[in-house]
Amino acid sequence: MGKHRRPGPLNQPSRATPHVDPAAPFTPYEKRRRPPMDQYRRDRPLHGGAGHLRPHEPRTLEEWDGFGYTPAGTAPDLATAQVWVRELEIGTVDGEE
């Protein structure tokens, strides 16, 4: 193992840099409009602080709009917020496939 080896399976590409098509004419502009680490939805504790310490407190839900994160709603607790965040990634709506 090298000193700077990326952890994880060898057959998976790194998620640190998102895939960008170099042949597309607007690649530099599209690259700037991608969310950090390809995270289109995220949740934050409503009153700040570390979210994992108080899982029963309300959360602010935020969505990437191409320029920054904008408020999309609130969730009563961490579990509900995580379901909302993963809903877009998995492609399910309310647990349906």
HSE of 26 in the Cβ direction (CA atoms, 13 Å)?
5
More confident residue, 95 or 24: 24
Supply 84's token pair.
Answer: 């909302």
| pLDDT tens readout for residues 19-74 | 667 787 777 777 667 777 778 898 999 888 887 788 899 999 999 888 888 999 99
pLDDT at residue 12, rounded to an integer: 61
Angle (nearest 5°) at CA 86 between 13 and 55: 115
**The whole model's pTM is what?**
0.58
